[in-house]
Copies of this chain bind each other. A is one copy, B any other.
Protein backbone atom coordinates (compact mmCIF):
# COMPACT_ATOMS: atom_id res chain seq x y z
CA UNK A 1 0.00 0.00 0.00
CA UNK A 2 2.00 2.91 -1.37
CA UNK A 3 0.96 6.56 -1.32
CA UNK A 4 2.06 8.65 -4.30
CA UNK A 5 1.39 12.35 -3.83
CA UNK A 6 0.61 13.71 -7.30
CA UNK A 7 -0.49 17.19 -6.21
CA UNK A 8 -0.03 18.74 -2.76
CA UNK A 9 -1.09 22.33 -3.39
CA UNK A 10 -4.44 23.92 -2.69
CA UNK A 11 -6.82 26.25 -4.55
CA UNK A 12 -4.54 26.81 -7.55
CA UNK A 13 -1.26 25.32 -8.70
CA UNK A 14 2.17 26.85 -8.19
CA UNK A 15 5.48 26.14 -9.89
CA UNK A 16 6.27 23.62 -7.15
CA UNK A 17 2.91 22.06 -6.40
CA UNK A 18 0.08 20.86 -8.55
CA UNK A 19 -3.52 20.87 -7.30
CA UNK A 20 -4.74 17.89 -5.22
CA UNK A 21 -4.39 14.30 -6.26
CA UNK A 22 -3.17 11.28 -4.33
CA UNK A 23 -2.70 7.82 -5.80
CA UNK A 24 -2.59 4.61 -3.80
CA UNK A 25 -0.77 1.74 -5.39
CA UNK A 26 -2.14 -1.48 -3.92
CA UNK A 27 -0.46 -4.52 -5.49
CA UNK A 28 -1.32 -4.16 -9.19
CA UNK A 29 -4.23 -1.75 -8.58
CA UNK A 30 -4.25 2.04 -8.39
CA UNK A 31 -6.91 4.00 -6.52
CA UNK A 32 -6.96 7.72 -7.14
CA UNK A 33 -8.18 10.22 -4.56
CA UNK A 34 -9.05 13.59 -6.13
CA UNK A 35 -7.97 14.59 -9.60
CA UNK A 36 -7.06 18.25 -9.96
CA UNK A 37 -6.23 19.80 -13.33
CA UNK A 38 -2.95 18.42 -14.66
CA UNK A 39 -3.10 15.13 -12.75
CA UNK A 40 -2.57 13.07 -15.92
CA UNK A 41 0.72 14.89 -16.51
CA UNK A 42 1.79 14.39 -12.88
CA UNK A 43 1.40 10.66 -13.46
CA UNK A 44 3.97 10.95 -16.25
CA UNK A 45 6.54 12.23 -13.78
CA UNK A 46 5.69 9.48 -11.27
CA UNK A 47 6.49 5.77 -11.03
CA UNK A 48 2.96 4.66 -12.00
CA UNK A 49 0.77 4.99 -15.09
CA UNK A 50 -2.71 6.49 -15.25
CA UNK A 51 -3.69 3.43 -17.29
CA UNK A 52 -3.46 1.41 -14.06
CA UNK A 53 -6.24 3.37 -12.29
CA UNK A 54 -9.10 1.14 -11.15
CA UNK A 55 -11.23 3.53 -9.08
CA UNK A 56 -11.42 7.27 -8.50
CA UNK A 57 -12.73 8.87 -5.32
CA UNK A 58 -13.44 12.62 -5.35
CA UNK A 59 -13.67 14.39 -1.99
CA UNK A 60 -15.76 17.34 -3.26
CA UNK A 61 -16.56 19.43 -6.30
CA UNK A 62 -14.32 22.44 -5.98
CA UNK A 63 -12.38 22.83 -9.21
CA UNK A 64 -8.94 22.12 -7.80
CA UNK A 65 -10.08 18.63 -6.76
CA UNK A 66 -11.72 17.31 -9.94
CA UNK A 67 -11.00 19.38 -13.07
CA UNK A 68 -8.34 16.90 -14.19
CA UNK A 69 -11.02 14.23 -14.73
CA UNK A 70 -12.08 14.94 -18.33
CA UNK A 71 -8.50 15.20 -19.63
CA UNK A 72 -7.48 12.07 -17.75
CA UNK A 73 -10.43 10.10 -19.12
CA UNK A 74 -9.84 11.34 -22.68
CA UNK A 75 -6.20 10.30 -22.46
CA UNK A 76 -7.24 6.87 -21.16
CA UNK A 77 -9.46 6.63 -24.24
CA UNK A 78 -6.70 7.76 -26.62
CA UNK A 79 -4.45 5.14 -25.03
CA UNK A 80 -7.11 2.49 -25.71
CA UNK A 81 -8.45 1.71 -22.27
CA UNK A 82 -11.20 -0.88 -22.36
CA UNK A 83 -11.74 -1.65 -18.65
CA UNK A 84 -14.68 0.06 -16.94
CA UNK A 85 -13.98 2.97 -14.63
CA UNK A 86 -15.83 3.76 -11.41
CA UNK A 87 -15.96 7.27 -9.99
CA UNK A 88 -17.21 7.87 -6.45
CA UNK A 89 -17.92 11.06 -4.56
CA UNK A 90 -20.48 13.02 -2.55
CA UNK A 91 -23.90 14.02 -3.85
CA UNK A 92 -23.61 15.59 -7.30
CA UNK A 93 -20.94 13.18 -8.53
CA UNK A 94 -23.15 11.66 -11.19
CA UNK A 95 -24.35 15.03 -12.38
CA UNK A 96 -21.04 16.86 -12.39
CA UNK A 97 -18.91 14.13 -13.87
CA UNK A 98 -21.37 13.02 -16.53
CA UNK A 99 -21.80 16.63 -17.65
CA UNK A 100 -18.05 17.14 -17.66
CA UNK A 101 -17.68 14.22 -20.01
CA UNK A 102 -20.06 15.81 -22.50
CA UNK A 103 -17.76 18.79 -22.87
CA UNK A 104 -16.39 18.97 -26.37
CA UNK A 105 -16.53 16.25 -28.95
CA UNK A 106 -15.79 13.11 -26.99
CA UNK A 107 -17.28 9.69 -26.38
CA UNK A 108 -15.39 7.26 -24.17
CA UNK A 109 -14.73 3.75 -25.47
CA UNK A 110 -15.17 2.18 -22.02
CA UNK A 111 -17.94 2.18 -19.44
CA UNK A 112 -17.82 4.88 -16.77
CA UNK A 113 -20.00 4.45 -13.70
CA UNK A 114 -20.76 7.22 -11.21
CA UNK A 115 -21.59 6.68 -7.57
CA UNK A 116 -23.09 9.34 -5.30
CA UNK A 117 -22.07 8.14 -1.85
CA UNK A 118 -23.80 8.98 1.42
CA UNK A 119 -22.19 9.76 4.76
CA UNK A 120 -20.87 6.53 6.26
CA UNK A 121 -21.05 4.47 3.06
CA UNK A 122 -18.46 1.75 2.76
CA UNK A 123 -17.40 0.50 -0.65
CA UNK A 124 -16.11 -3.06 -0.41
CA UNK A 125 -13.37 -4.32 -2.70
CA UNK A 126 -11.66 -7.69 -2.70
CA UNK A 127 -8.72 -6.74 -0.53
CA UNK A 128 -9.73 -3.48 1.10
CA UNK A 129 -12.68 -1.23 1.71
CA UNK A 130 -13.10 2.51 1.34
CA UNK A 131 -15.34 4.46 3.70
CA UNK A 132 -16.74 7.95 3.09
CA UNK A 133 -17.39 10.28 6.01
CA UNK A 134 -18.81 13.79 5.81
CA UNK A 135 -16.41 16.52 6.89
CA UNK A 136 -16.79 20.27 7.51
CA UNK A 137 -16.18 22.26 4.36
CA UNK A 138 -18.41 24.82 2.65
CA UNK A 139 -19.78 22.32 0.11
CA UNK A 140 -20.62 18.60 0.54
CA UNK A 141 -17.24 16.95 1.21
CA UNK A 142 -15.94 13.58 2.27
CA UNK A 143 -12.89 12.25 4.00
CA UNK A 144 -12.04 8.71 2.95
CA UNK A 145 -10.42 5.82 4.73
CA UNK A 146 -8.91 2.88 2.89
CA UNK A 147 -8.54 -0.15 5.10
CA UNK A 148 -7.64 -3.79 4.86
CA UNK A 149 -9.64 -6.37 6.83
CA UNK A 150 -7.94 -7.69 9.97
CA UNK A 151 -5.42 -10.46 9.42
CA UNK A 152 -5.24 -13.65 11.55
CA UNK A 153 -2.80 -13.51 14.46
CA UNK A 154 0.82 -14.65 14.20
CA UNK A 155 1.19 -18.47 13.96
CA UNK A 156 2.97 -19.97 16.98
CA UNK A 157 4.91 -22.79 15.33
CA UNK A 158 6.64 -24.18 18.49
CA UNK A 159 3.26 -24.36 20.24
CA UNK A 160 1.70 -26.19 17.27
CA UNK A 161 4.51 -28.79 17.24
CA UNK A 162 4.15 -29.15 21.02
CA UNK A 163 0.47 -29.95 20.49
CA UNK A 164 1.49 -32.66 18.04
CA UNK A 165 0.47 -30.95 14.81
CA UNK A 166 2.76 -32.14 12.01
CA UNK A 167 4.30 -29.47 9.77
CA UNK A 168 2.56 -29.12 6.39
CA UNK A 169 -1.10 -28.95 5.30
CA UNK A 170 -2.50 -28.85 8.85
CA UNK A 171 -0.38 -25.75 9.61
CA UNK A 172 -1.97 -23.93 6.68
CA UNK A 173 -5.47 -24.95 7.78
CA UNK A 174 -4.88 -23.54 11.26
CA UNK A 175 -3.41 -20.37 9.77
CA UNK A 176 -6.56 -19.96 7.68
CA UNK A 177 -8.61 -20.19 10.87
CA UNK A 178 -9.83 -23.77 10.54
CA UNK A 179 -9.70 -26.40 13.31
CA UNK A 180 -7.83 -29.68 12.73
CA UNK A 181 -7.90 -33.19 14.25
CA UNK A 182 -4.61 -34.66 15.52
CA UNK A 183 -4.61 -38.13 17.14
CA UNK A 184 -8.32 -37.77 17.99
CA UNK A 185 -7.76 -34.37 19.62
CA UNK A 186 -9.28 -31.14 18.19
CA UNK A 187 -6.83 -28.28 17.82
CA UNK A 188 -8.60 -24.94 17.37
CA UNK A 189 -6.90 -21.92 15.71
CA UNK A 190 -6.97 -19.82 18.92
CA UNK A 191 -4.63 -22.41 20.50
CA UNK A 192 -1.82 -21.61 18.01
CA UNK A 193 -2.57 -18.08 16.70
CA UNK A 194 -1.68 -14.80 18.42
CA UNK A 195 -4.17 -11.93 18.67
CA UNK A 196 -5.82 -10.79 15.43
CA UNK A 197 -3.70 -8.13 13.66
CA UNK A 198 -5.42 -5.08 12.17
CA UNK A 199 -5.02 -4.41 8.46
CA UNK A 200 -3.31 -1.35 7.06
CA UNK A 201 -5.35 1.84 7.11
CA UNK A 202 -4.90 5.21 5.51
CA UNK A 203 -7.14 8.30 5.79
CA UNK A 204 -7.36 11.28 3.44
CA UNK A 205 -9.38 14.26 4.64
CA UNK A 206 -9.81 16.33 1.48
CA UNK A 207 -10.69 19.90 2.49
CA UNK A 208 -12.00 20.38 6.01
CA UNK A 209 -11.79 22.43 9.12
CA UNK A 210 -10.83 20.31 12.14
CA UNK A 211 -13.69 17.95 12.96
CA UNK A 212 -14.42 14.95 15.13
CA UNK A 213 -15.60 12.95 12.11
CA UNK A 214 -11.97 12.87 10.97
CA UNK A 215 -10.61 12.10 14.44
CA UNK A 216 -12.95 9.12 14.62
CA UNK A 217 -12.26 7.91 11.08
CA UNK A 218 -8.50 8.23 11.59
CA UNK A 219 -8.45 6.28 14.88
CA UNK A 220 -5.21 4.27 15.03
CA UNK A 221 -4.56 4.52 11.30
CA UNK A 222 -1.12 4.09 9.78
CA UNK A 223 -1.22 7.30 7.79
CA UNK A 224 -3.38 10.40 8.00
CA UNK A 225 -3.17 12.87 5.10
CA UNK A 226 -4.75 16.05 6.41
CA UNK A 227 -5.73 19.48 5.02
CA UNK A 228 -3.06 21.95 6.13
CA UNK A 229 -3.81 24.99 4.02
CA UNK A 230 -2.19 27.59 6.26
CA UNK A 231 0.18 27.80 9.22
CA UNK A 232 -1.05 28.50 12.73
CA UNK A 233 -0.84 32.29 12.37
CA UNK A 234 -3.58 32.13 9.73
CA UNK A 235 -5.67 29.52 11.55
CA UNK A 236 -8.76 31.67 11.86
CA UNK A 237 -8.69 32.41 8.13
CA UNK A 238 -8.17 28.72 7.32
CA UNK A 239 -11.21 27.73 9.39
CA UNK A 240 -13.35 30.50 7.90
CA UNK A 241 -12.80 29.00 4.44
CA UNK A 242 -13.40 25.44 5.62
CA UNK A 243 -9.73 24.49 5.99
CA UNK A 244 -7.30 23.56 8.75
CA UNK A 245 -3.98 24.88 9.96
CA UNK A 246 -0.96 22.57 10.25
CA UNK A 247 -1.27 22.73 14.05
CA UNK A 248 -4.89 21.66 13.98
CA UNK A 249 -3.97 18.74 11.72
CA UNK A 250 -1.28 17.74 14.23
CA UNK A 251 -3.72 17.87 17.15
CA UNK A 252 -6.08 15.54 15.33
CA UNK A 253 -3.26 13.14 14.49
CA UNK A 254 -2.30 13.07 18.16
CA UNK A 255 -5.84 12.57 19.38
CA UNK A 256 -6.58 9.85 16.83
CA UNK A 257 -3.36 8.03 17.70
CA UNK A 258 -2.21 7.77 14.10
CA UNK A 259 1.24 6.54 13.25
CA UNK A 260 2.24 9.17 10.69
CA UNK A 261 0.81 12.49 9.52
CA UNK A 262 1.26 14.06 6.09
CA UNK A 263 0.27 17.70 5.60
CA UNK A 264 -1.26 18.54 2.22
CA UNK A 265 -3.42 21.10 0.34
CA UNK A 266 -0.70 23.63 1.07
CA UNK A 267 -1.53 27.18 0.03
CA UNK A 268 0.44 28.67 -2.90
CA UNK A 269 1.68 31.29 -0.42
CA UNK A 270 4.19 28.77 1.00
CA UNK A 271 7.17 28.18 -1.25
CA UNK A 272 8.06 25.13 0.78
CA UNK A 273 6.33 23.36 3.63
CA UNK A 274 9.06 23.79 6.24
CA UNK A 275 7.17 26.27 8.43
CA UNK A 276 4.07 24.06 8.46
CA UNK A 277 6.10 21.00 9.31
CA UNK A 278 7.99 22.72 12.14
CA UNK A 279 4.84 24.03 13.77
CA UNK A 280 3.05 20.69 13.47
CA UNK A 281 5.98 18.68 14.86
CA UNK A 282 5.80 20.52 18.15
CA UNK A 283 2.51 18.72 18.69
CA UNK A 284 2.92 15.58 16.58
CA UNK A 285 6.57 14.79 15.85
CA UNK A 286 5.92 12.16 13.18
CA UNK A 287 4.74 14.79 10.67
CA UNK A 288 5.88 15.32 7.09
CA UNK A 289 4.89 18.18 4.86
CA UNK A 290 4.02 16.37 1.64
CA UNK A 291 5.46 17.47 -1.69
CA UNK A 292 4.62 16.50 -5.25
CA UNK A 293 5.80 13.01 -6.28
CA UNK A 294 6.67 12.01 -2.70
CA UNK A 295 6.09 8.28 -2.20
CA UNK A 296 5.47 6.46 1.07
CA UNK A 297 4.99 2.74 1.52
CA UNK A 298 2.77 1.54 4.34
CA UNK A 299 4.39 -1.80 5.13
CA UNK A 300 2.65 -4.88 6.42
CA UNK A 301 3.46 -5.34 10.10
CA UNK A 302 5.35 -8.63 10.50
Instruction: Judge whether A281 is part of the interface by a CB distance below 8 angstroms.
Output: no
Binding-face segment, A66-74, A80-88, A118-126, A271-279: A66-74
Instruction: Judge whether A61 is part of the interface by a CB distance below 8 angstroms.
Output: yes
Instruction: Judge whether A161 is part of the interface by a CB distance below 8 angstroms.
Output: no
How many interface residues does chain A have, given as a range?
A: 35 or more
What string of 1s and 0s marks CB contacts (under 8 Å) between A59-79 and chain B?
001111011101100110011
In the complex the two chains form, is B61's CB within 8 Å of A105's CB?
yes
Q: Which of B66, B79, B104 contacts A96 (CB 8 A)?
A: B104
Complex CA–CA separation, A40 to B188 (angstroms): 63
Binding-face segment, A12-20, A167-175, A232-240, A282-290: A12-20
Q: How many copies does the complex hold?
A: 2
Complex CA–CA separation, A46 to B102 (angstroms): 31
Residues of B within 8 A of A15 (CB): 41, 44-45
In the complex the two chains form, is A66's CB within 8 Å of B12's CB?
no
In the complex the two chains form, is A71's CB within 8 Å of B63's CB?
yes
In the complex the two chains form, is A44's CB within 8 Å of B13's CB?
yes
Q: How far is the CB of A57 from chain B (nearest CB, A)?
A: 16
Q: How far is the CB of A242 from chain B (nearest CB, A)?
A: 11
Q: Which of B14, B68, B106, B139 contacts A105 (CB 8 A)?
A: B139
Instruction: Judge whether A103 is part of the interface by a CB distance below 8 angstroms.
Output: yes
Q: How far is the CB of A137 from chain B (nearest CB, A)?
A: 10
Question: Quick one: closest B residue to A41, CB to CB?
Answer: B13
Q: Which of B18, B61, B70, B71 contacts A41 (CB 8 A)?
A: B18
Instruction: Judge whether A183 is part of the interface by a CB distance below 8 angstroms.
Output: no
Residues of B within 8 A of A100 (CB): 100, 103
In the complex the two chains form, is A40's CB within 8 Å of B66's CB?
no
In the complex the two chains form, is A41's CB within 8 Å of B40's CB?
no
Instruction: Judge whether A37 is part of the interface by a CB distance below 8 angstroms.
Output: yes
Find residues 132-171 in chain A having any chain B CB closer than 8 Å to their own CB: 139
- The 10 A-B residue pairs with the shortest CB-CB distance in the complex, in nearest-first order: A61-B104, A37-B71, A12-B75, A38-B38, A63-B74, A13-B41, A105-B139, A67-B71, A15-B44, A63-B104
A residues neighboring B (CB under 8 Å): 11-15, 18-19, 36-38, 40-41, 44-45, 61-64, 66-68, 70-71, 74-75, 78-79, 96, 99-100, 102-106, 139
